[in-house]
Structure 1
Amino acid sequence: MNRFYMLFILLGMYFVSAYSQESYIFSGKVTDHKNVTLPGASVYIPAIDNGVFTDSNGNYHLHIAKKGTYVVQVSFLGYDTYTDTIMITANTKHNIKLTALAMSLQEVVVKDNYAASRKKEESLNVEVVNNKFIQQNLGGSLSQSLERLPGVSMIGIGSGQSKPVIRGLGFNRVLVVENNIKHEGQQWGSDHGLEIDQFAANRIEVIKGPASLMYGSDAIGGVIDVKQSEIPTPNTVGGQVNLIGKSNNNLVGSSVNVFIRKNKLFADLRGTVMDYGDYKVPTDSISIYSYKAGLHDHLMRNTAGKEQDVHFSFGLIQPDFQTRFFVSNVYTKSGFFANTHGLEPQRVNTEVHDKSSRDILFPYQSVNHSKLINKTIKTWDGIRLETDIGVQRNLRREKSKYIAHGDMPANFPETLNMDPDMEREFDKYIYSANVKTSYSKIERLKLFSGINAEYQNNSIGGRGFIIPDYNLWSMGLHLVSKYTLSDRSKLQAGIRFDRGAINTKEYYDWFPSTVEQNGVETEEYLQRADKINKVYENISWSLGYVYNHQALSLKSNIGKSFRMPIAKELAANGVNYHRFSYEVGKSDLDAEVSYQLDMGAEYNKNHFAIGITPFVNFFPNYIYLNPSDKHDSQYGLGNQIFYYTQSSVFRYGGEMHFHWEVIPQLQLGIMGEYVYSQQLSGEKEGFTLPFSPPPSALFSVKYQPIHFNLAHNAYLSMDYRMTAAQNQIVPPENKTDGYQVLTLNAGADFQLGNQQINVSVSVHNVLNTKYYNHTSYYRLINVPESGRNAVLTISIPFSAHMH
């Protein structure tokens, strides 16, 4: 470990000595052929692997360590990429004009020049989407909107709750970042969705594969990085009104955004409200183990909900300094499917529940997630210093009518200072800080370093128990270097050290239970959780190579990553009502370690593109829930007991995509994904992992642009997804049949006077197909996915210049 610390000291000394080197400034302005400035254009020099984006006035400033002749590439959405060879001898100024494209090639991902550059520079496989992609693919949640990306799926439970899955890994193995701060809620639960407003997302980057090097624990499977609105251009005021409606659950919603910037000061405000009813499935009954529950009008009773979000940001921007504050609150309230909560389908009062499809009755959940984030950037003389500081609070409450199990009293005692209807409560505070630096004055070499720290404190309440109170702290340091071998190839390497600790408190039942010992019965308050203090350390590393030449792009990355066990895996001891199981943690679990090789190859020329991104992955000690032959009779109705355990796991798979622009208006695409997992040790040796996604392929056809009367940029598209049967299961899982689902999309920009209006229409599951999603927890009780759903979104932007 001393060698590792010495590495930091030596690198710091190197930074200090390098600061004194001479540098040259390459600057200018980027405009179009009409001399309109292009803010946000990418100016990039491959030889030194360095670039910048133009500011709000289209200006750029780039520090060059050594004079010479360089190839400069400039790109911007909707314009031809500019490439030229420029001699930089001193402080060189060079203005650049870009030529508009008649039409840009669209891949399966809505793609702009930033996305193309990002994918070519990163040795891991990255997908980048913008807000237009999100609007055209709006699902019930952010996770569902990202399902169209190769390798990305979701675990769904209900109409408004879902969790992202990357290459078959989810929960705490996929890290979600919002505005550079790790999003922390109660993401360990199957019914605990992401408290993120998808209308507030301006751009989303999805990193597929282990990203612990830059992000730390929980990024062992990948990262979903959500970026909010960009900084407005100077002296402007504007915003956008979004309207949305869905037919399946009669959702109605609106999101309104207003921004203003006066010289160096700016502010941005967004409010979102949504209200929806019970959602429909293409069946009139479901089989909950041995009980058949009828559904009124195909509705999943008590799955209605509502959402109310507020986002506000403000800040200061200068040429070499900017700071921005983000303040947000996301509130959701939604019902649990009444027939399955606690496995008591026969006790449901269908007359009360079926009166209205929009009421939220017991049982239900409410979640309030608040954030305060500051992001500050300072640049000088080839150095970039970035700090992110965040405070979050996640307050989650689950309520249901009190029902006695085991030794619980028949009636809830009035003497207890507790709400009898409060089944569970989780109150988590999170404090985060990131400090990142980059240095680019050395020819061909770019250096990055950073420190991440986080502290969590989670307290529990309510009459039910599954995890105890706990607190957690973690800290990590990383070093990454990117070296440009030539104009075509780059090498990147990095190392990271992490240390963290988790402390759980002991917990006793609030009611006494009868215990028999040596023929004598006594009344005792049973202990459900012990006090645990665990410390984890780890060194992660990564080595990657990228090769880009004309139409060909190749990449590879090999590395080690890790994940700390969470409180549930260490100390759970209770009923998971939504997975229909009794779960027991294991206090001596080791940290998960993953070794993975990622590769990628893409050929993209003119109107044709094809790519493949395979991976190979080995876990020496993968953590998962192992079913036993025991059943709980003390706290529920005979739920099967699952124990957290570890085993060696081997995984491989990948994604592919093919795109062909047949004619300028017609585009064809194919996207496929495959994941295979096998346990190499433990009780389930030879089996796969629970909830493994089956192979699938998406065939797409898109016709655009179509111009008629007042409509511009109109498009029509069709997605046909084929999913294979999942026969590779872990007992007691059931096999899942394959299925095919059709989706239709259409949209256009309408010009009404000086006002532009964008309208998008999508129809999901057009044929109202009855099918089961193997990764959904509703699959356990044979609930099919939602039926036909027509989604209408209307976007009305507005803006004006101030004097």
Structure 2
Amino acid sequence: MKHIFRIWFIALCYIPVFAFAQSKNATTVKGKVIDAATLKALSGATVYFPDFKRGAVADESGSFSISGVPVGDYIIEISYYGYKTLVEKINTATYQEKSFSLVTSIVEQEKVVVTGVSSAMSAKKAPIAVQLINKRELLGSSGTNLIDVISKVPGLQQISSGPAVSKPVIRGLGFNRVVVVNDGIRQEGQQWGEEHGIEIDEFSVSKIEVLKGPASLMYGSDALAGVINIISLSPVPEGTIRGNVLGSFNTNNLQRGGHVNIGGNSNGFVWGGYASLKAAADYRNRYDGRVFNSKFNEQNFGGYIGLHKNWGSSQLNITHFDQTIGMVSGERDSATGKLIMYVPHGDHTHEEFPTEKDHNSTQPFIPRQRIQHLKVGLENSFHLGANRLSLNLGYQKNHRKELGNVLNPSETEMGFDLQTFNYNLAYHINTLKDWKTNVGVNGMWQSNTNTGHEMMIPDYDLFDAGVFIVTQKTMNKVTLSGGIRYDIRKINAKASEEEHHDEEEEHDHDLQFEAFKRDFNNISGSVGFSYAFHPKWNLKLNVAKGFRAPSLAELASNGAHHGTNRFEYGNAQLKSESSFQIDGGVGFDNDHISIEASLFYNYVKNYIYYQRLQSVNGGDSVIVADNDHEDHDGHSHGHAHGDLYAFEFDQANAFLVGGEIKFDIHPHPLHWLHIENTFSYVRGMLTERRDGSRNLPFIPGPRLINEVRATLIEKSKNISNLYVKVQLDNTFKQNHAFTGYNTETVTPAYSLFNIGIGTDVTWKGKTRFSIYLAGNNLTDVAYQSHLSRLKYTDVNNTTGRMGVFNMGRNFNVKVNVPLQF
């Protein structure tokens, strides 16, 4: 790691000295924010430059002042709750102090996006499909983890392994095909596993951007499906100290959480910190009762410190995420069908039914896993005249332990020590003949070491690098964008031996993994435009080519994957996936309705998937995962898992087609009424049948969400922004399962009835606290998501139902107290 710290030292000590000479190229932007109808000052309005993360809050007169703004053309974003966000392009060199007028609106259409484009721009002008979720929307939504909270975004769903673990799926593609970025650093923590979450605390998140479609230009290999950009550690406006205290509780699984954060900004010196705690017991549903070992607990701490000056900014971010998760085995008593647990009994174990105390505990039983994720990031942005140089460096250490021996709970059955160094250097050309262009290089060094006595993937080293150029130009009603990128990835997998004991208890070693090296390279590109041919209409079209190199699990797996009840074999001959996607969209917005519709076609060459292996006699191939799992008397000897089905990775050409539509009714002058309908659909197919099936695995069923929302009180003496919403979440039958090799089964349709209510409580014109209440699945429907991995656990012999069902009726309450000094 010495070379890593040398690079950091150079970045910290030398580059700021060079950039300091450019301080003369900065200016101060002043103005006033008012109500367009009444001309009254909007005290508390937020003014923000997304490109370089500088902003201010309007004072009691509506005035604001932002110093250290670089000279050039930039997007300024002005927002105030209950008003339509104003997004305007200004030239800071010729800017004159002015008033910005905001109009009231119950529908927020004009938002700024920074993901996947060369510079900040209005989401309506972006040629790509992007969904933005702000802090208030996150607080008003309920879920058991971050991806669960945002899973109602059209085109975004989740692969789940219980309430603690969810992985994003964008338009039918998940796992390593989706890149998660957190505060400028690509999140790296064993993305290949279904039972491995993204390891980001939702309480600390302030904003999320979901990019749908290939985004390899800015983020390299793996962004085949899209990007989820999560912003947590954002500095507060100049001259303020702000914070929040948040509490949350779920009734179904007794999940309780707390969060506190505080941050300041004084003359460009920024600092902040936060802490989050969360704990949950076993959840319940109507068919399974309490689902044993679905409990979890986590804690997360983070902070930042930096300088935001005329020469630019440099900010150091540190977070530490620590989570312990119970792994739901779904094993049942053959006579009653009830879920069971294994407990020690001398030198072996026996089955017991969990007690109420066992269910209510927030300390997971065996099998369980513990994940610790340390992340250190250094964000630098330096003004070079009208241009800008950015350098982001990151170090991540993801340590994962899977514990499966009931007789020895501290034994690390399977462990991974993953270390990653990320780098991203880009030169942002502000204007060159009206084009705004980024040129850069980014990638990562990565090393993974096994730390348990069992192994599933080999130790390996990985090097990844890519050079790119992206550009955009706005000409009256048309915005053009595009770019090209070249990537290389080098993988060095190391030979590893499996240690075991024979009957005489002598040590023996078998070669489990052979050493190999693979190199991958590819060219990615995209071109697109948006066309506002009418003040109320806009069109979008984008064509993109992306690629993804195979993961180590896909290339070299050779072991039991207990979190998914499989024994997996890799395929060292796999090729890179490459995609060609066409996106088209149309938008309409007036005083009464808003419509957003998009369609896509995605052809993926060499799509990688796994399938069950067949034995020589034609049945399913079964691997005895633990030879000591059960003796002749039926007593198990410690491990909480037994025989597993064998799967192997394979690939074939495939295509995905679908789209999303959002139809929003907000009739004038009934601004308090808001009727929203969203529909998303994706169909994934192989070009050739495999064991009689052409369907891709992990494709969610069609989804229709109907919501009616009413703002009952916009502003009064002590109550403001009081809303009530009623929602019907409909998921249609997924009868296009990948049934080849008995890999998936058809999933029935289900509808969930949800409600929500929220308000701000004010005193002397300031919000003292906000409260949000939500009820999910009020009719207590027993259902299974098609993307739930718990669907394929043991069969209940008394009912014939396979697997564990999702969470039943749940009420959630959040209380948020803002702090300002």
Relative to the length of structure 1, the TM-score reads: 0.85
1:681 shift after superposition: 3.1
The 3 A distance-change label for structure 1 pair 402 and 716 is closer
Q: Deviations over 1:528-569 (max 9, x none)?
A: 211110011111111111112411111111111101111100
The 3 A distance-change label for structure 1 pair 112 and 83 is closer
Is 1:511 matched up with 2:500? yes
Q: Which amino acid aligns with 2:125?
A: E
1:513 shift after superposition: 6.8
Cα separation, 2, equivalents of 1:377 and 1:722: 45
> Which residue of structure 2 aligns with residue 408 of structure 1?
none
1:174 shift after superposition: 0.6
Cα separation, 1, equivalents of 2:511 and 2:320: 36
> Which residue of structure 2 aligns with residue 742 of structure 1?
753
Matches within 5 A, 1:93-492: 93-106=95-108, 112=111, 117-284=121-288, 298-340=289-331, 349-351=351-353, 354-357=356-359, 358=361, 359-401=363-405, 421-484=411-474, 486-492=475-481
Match for residue 651 of structure 1 among 643, 656, 668: 656
The 3 A distance-change label for structure 1 pair 676 and 708 is same
Match for residue 604 of structure 2 among 619, 630, 636: 619
1:388 shift after superposition: 0.5
The 3 A distance-change label for structure 1 pair 529 and 771 is same
> Which residue of structure 2 aligns with residue 669 of structure 1?
676
1:81 shift after superposition: 6.7
Cα separation, 1, equivalents of 2:552 and 2:820: 48
Q: Which amino acid aligns with 1:529?
A: F
Q: Deviations over 1:325-345 (max 9, x none)?
A: 10110101121125449x996
> Which residue of structure 1 aligns with residue 707 of structure 2?
700
Match for residue 791 of structure 1 among 806, 809, 812: 812
Cα separation, 2, equivalents of 1:54 and 1:149: 28
Q: Work out whether residues 375 and 397 of structure 2, in 8 Å CA contact, stay in contact via their aligned partners in 1.
A: yes
1:306 shift after superposition: 0.9
Q: Work out whether residues 463 and 490 of structure 2, in 8 Å CA contact, stay in contact via their aligned partners in 1.
A: yes
* Residue aligned with 2:358, SS: coil
Deviates more, 1:77-86 or 1:209-218: 77-86
Q: Work out whether residues 760 and 767 of structure 2, in 8 Å CA contact, stay in contact via their aligned partners in 1.
A: no
Cα separation, 2, equivalents of 1:468 and 1:85: 51
Is 1:574 matched up with 2:582? no
1:258 shift after superposition: 1.2
Equivalenced residues, count: 729
Cα separation, 2, equivalents of 1:85 and 1:493: 20
> Which residue of structure 2 aligns with residue 591 of structure 1?
576
The 3 A distance-change label for structure 1 pair 621 and 595 is same
Q: Deviations over 1:712-770 (max 9, x none)?
A: 11000011111110111112111110010011010001125666110000011111111
Cα separation, 2, equivalents of 1:595 and 1:305: 40
Q: Deviations over 1:212-267 (max 9, x none)?
A: 11100111011000012432223322311000001011011110011122222121
Q: Which amino acid aligns with 1:725?
A: K
Relative to the length of structure 2, the TM-score reads: 0.83
Cα separation, 1, equivalents of 2:373 and 2:716: 45
Cα separation, 1, equivalents of 2:356 and 2:182: 38
Q: Work out whether residues 33 and 102 of structure 2, in 8 Å CA contact, stay in contact via their aligned partners in 1.
A: no
* Residue aligned with 1:655, SS: strand
1:793 shift after superposition: 0.3
Cα separation, 2, equivalents of 1:471 and 1:74: 43
1:275 shift after superposition: 1.4
The 3 A distance-change label for structure 1 pair 588 and 602 is same
1:686 shift after superposition: 5.1
Q: Work out whether residues 74 and 81 of structure 1, in 8 Å CA contact, stay in contact via their aligned partners in 2.
A: yes
* Residue aligned with 1:349, SS: strand
* Residue aligned with 2:555, SS: helix
Deviates more, 1:94-103 or 1:719-728: 94-103
Q: Which amino acid aligns with 1:507?
A: S
The 3 A distance-change label for structure 1 pair 152 and 530 is same
1:53 shift after superposition: 6.7
1:34 shift after superposition: 5.8
Q: Work out whether residues 340 and 353 of structure 2, in 8 Å CA contact, stay in contact via their aligned partners in 1.
A: no
* Residue aligned with 2:147, SS: helix
* Residue aligned with 2:218, SS: helix
Cα separation, 1, equivalents of 2:389 and 2:195: 38
1:632 shift after superposition: 3.3
Q: Work out whether residues 333 and 364 of structure 1, in 8 Å CA contact, stay in contact via their aligned partners in 2.
A: yes
The 3 A distance-change label for structure 1 pair 42 and 314 is closer
> Which residue of structure 2 aligns with residue 406 of structure 1?
none
The 3 A distance-change label for structure 1 pair 703 and 104 is closer
Q: Deviations over 1:401-456 (max 9, x none)?
A: 168xxxxxxxx9xxxxxx97221111111101101121123232111111102011
Deviates more, 1:299-308 or 1:228-237: 228-237
Cα separation, 1, equivalents of 2:691 and 2:314: 52
Match for residue 550 of structure 1 among 509, 531, 535: 535
Is 1:720 matched up with 2:728? yes
Is 1:757 matched up with 2:790? no
* Residue aligned with 2:301, SS: strand
* Residue aligned with 2:357, SS: coil
Is 1:767 matched up with 2:779? yes
Deviates more, 1:618-627 or 1:682-691: 682-691
The 3 A distance-change label for structure 1 pair 148 and 478 is same
Q: Name the Cα RMSD after superposition.
A: 3.1
Q: Deviations over 1:69-120 (max 9, x none)?
A: xx9987434556779999x9x953412212343444247xxx7566995322
* Residue aligned with 2:257, SS: strand
Q: Work out whether residues 281 and 299 of structure 1, in 8 Å CA contact, stay in contact via their aligned partners in 2.
A: yes
* Residue aligned with 2:563, SS: coil
Q: Which amino acid aligns with 2:320?
A: N
Cα separation, 2, equivalents of 1:237 and 1:726: 50
Cα separation, 2, equivalents of 1:478 and 1:490: 20
Q: Work out whether residues 430 and 457 of structure 1, in 8 Å CA contact, stay in contact via their aligned partners in 2.
A: yes
Q: Which amino acid aligns with 1:534?
A: R
* Residue aligned with 1:578, SS: helix
The 3 A distance-change label for structure 1 pair 223 and 513 is farther
Matches within 5 A, 1:622-633: 622-630=607-615, 631-633=621-623
User: Any stretches of 5+ residues in structure 1 without a counterpart?
Assistant: 1-22, 45-49, 66-70, 285-297, 404-411, 413-418, 515-521
1:346 shift after superposition: 8.0
The 3 A distance-change label for structure 1 pair 350 and 96 is farther
Identity of aligned residues (%): 26
* Residue aligned with 1:253, SS: strand
* Residue aligned with 1:132, SS: helix
Q: Which amino acid aligns with 1:99?
A: S
Q: Which amino acid aligns with 1:735?
A: V
The 3 A distance-change label for structure 1 pair 53 and 260 is closer
Cα separation, 2, equivalents of 1:734 and 1:139: 26
> Which residue of structure 1 aligns with residue 791 of structure 2?
779
Cα separation, 2, equivalents of 1:621 and 1:114: 32
Q: Work out whether residues 76 and 113 of structure 1, in 8 Å CA contact, stay in contact via their aligned partners in 2.
A: no
Q: Work out whether residues 717 and 762 of structure 2, in 8 Å CA contact, stay in contact via their aligned partners in 1.
A: no
